[in-house]
Amino acid sequence: MAARTTFYVDKQNKKVSGVCAGIADYTGIDVTVVRIMMLVLAWATGGAGILAYFIAAHLAPTKPTGLYQDQADAKFWQGVRANPSRSTGEVRAKFRELDRRLADIELHYTSRNTRLADEIESLR
Amino acid sequence: MEEVIAILCAIIGLPWLIMHYVTKWKQSPKITNEDERLLDEMYNLARRLEARVETVERIVAADSPDFRSRLTSGDDYHREIGLGDARPSLEKHADYRPAGRN
């Protein structure tokens, strides 16, 4: 399985080499914003930005297809790259919520049985 | 004079800014491959479990229509039943089991 925490060049959504699309995929920033920022940076640094772009395109591995199952999965891993401890906290919160919901179901059934038992008791 | 300031900015200021953010990025919390694999497994497990719990909740709601309305007002429900905690204690229900079988 390919790592989700490394920087990839996104060839599927590329305009030139896919570095901007890769940055957008890595950080979760909109790809158009990344491209505009890259153009501004290239203009401000006077060519150094363009050089950095092609070095990045040459060095970074290509993003494998099917890295994420769906949009929610991609968003989750963007969160992990930004702040892993917050993401693990979110997963733990999800497990706690599931525990609470299962406890509700359990309580529903157990309390219903007691009510049924009370009714049977009153009929006798 | 202005040219000197501009050149100083370009030579010292810009690499400083870049190095500042590079060190910040290096210091930010990183996870190992093992952690990543574990987190992936946990995340997928949580999603699968959530889907299962949703299915079970729908089945329970279809079985008894009052289940959904209780879910929305969970606190009132727990007070009404007489339990402070969401978890029903086994001892409480153990008393009712013989009555239920008769």
pLDDT tens-digit profile of A33-44? Answer: 999 998 888 888
Structure tokens at A49: 């930005």
For residue range A62-78, list pLDDT tens digits in order.
888 888 888 888 889 98
| Same domain? A98 vs A76 | no
Which domain does B36 fall in, by range?
32-86
For residue B24, the one-letter residue type is K
- Residue A111 and residue A75 in one domain: no
pLDDT above 50 (res B100): no
Asked if residue A104 and residue A66 are part of one domain, the reply reads no
Residue A89: predicted pLDDT? 93
Q: Which amino acid is at B78?
A: H
Report pLDDT digits (tens) over B8-59.
777 788 778 888 888 887 777 677 888 888 999 999 999 999 999 999 998 8
Cross-chain Cβ contact B86/A98 below 8 Å: no
Cα four-point dihedral sign B21, A62, B34, B45:
positive
- Choose, out of B18, B24, B31, the residue to mutate when testing the contact with A (most A CBs < 10 Å): B31
**A91–B46 C-beta distance less than 8 A:** yes
- Quick check: pTM over 0.90? no
pLDDT of B69 reads 55
Residue A1 sits in the same domain as residue A55: yes
Separation CA A23–CA B49 (nearest Å)? 32
The residue assigned the tokens 């989700």 is A4
Furthest C-alpha separation in chain A: 93
Q: A109 and A71 in one domain?
A: no
Q: How confident is the model at residue A92 (pLDDT cuts 50, 70, 90)?
A: very high
pLDDT at B92 over 90: no
Q: Do A116 and B49 touch (CB under 8 A)?
A: no
Query: Which residues in chain A have their CB less than 8 angstroms from residue B60's CB?
Result: 105, 108-109
Same domain, A8 and A42: yes
**Domain housing A74:** 1-82
| A119 in the same domain as A92 | yes
Number of domains in chain A: 2
A107 and A46 share a domain? no
Residue B45 belongs to some domain of the structure: yes
Q: Are residues A6 and A34 in the same domain?
A: yes
Grouping H, G, I as helix, E, B as strand and the rest as coil, residue A15 is coil
For residue B79, pLDDT beyond 50:
no
DSSP A40-64: HHHHHHTTHHHHHHHHHHHHSPBPP
Question: Could you give the angle at which helices A19-27 and A71-82 cross, rounded to 10 degrees?
Answer: 80
Q: Are residues A44 and A104 in the same domain?
A: no
Q: Which of A91, A104, A113 sits opposite B43 (nearest CB)?
A: A91
Interface test mutation site (partner B, options A1, A101, A109, A121, max chain B beta carbons within 10 A)? A101
Radius of gyration, alpha carbons of chain B: 30
Residue B43 belongs to a domain: yes
Q: Determine, for residues B99 and A104 on separate chains, whether the beta-carbon distance falls below 8 Å.
A: no
Would residue B5 count as lying in a domain?
no
Distance from CA of B43 to the nearest CA of A (A): 6
Q: What is the pLDDT of residue B85?
A: 44
Contact B46 A98 (CB under 8 A): yes
Q: Give the one of A98, A100, A112 whose C-beta lies nearest to B86's C-beta.
A: A100
In the predicted model, what is the mean pLDDT of residues A7-33?
89
Q: Provide the number of structural domains found in chain B.
A: 1
What does the mean pLDDT of chain A come to?
87
Specify whether A78 is located in the same domain as A96: no
Q: Does B96 touch chain A (CB under 8 A)?
A: yes
Does residue A59 sit in the same domain as residue A32?
A: yes
C-alpha span between A78 and A87 (Å, rounded): 10
Residue of chain B whose Cα is closest to the Cα of A121: B99
**Does residue B14 lie within any of the structural domains?**
no
Chain A within 8 Å of B40 (Cβ-Cβ)?
yes
Q: How far apart are CA B101 and CA A109, in angstroms?
A: 16
Q: Specify if B23 maps to a domain.
A: no
Three-state secondary structure call for residue A9: strand
- Mean local confidence (pLDDT), A85-102: 93
A92 near B40, Cβ under 8 Å? Answer: no
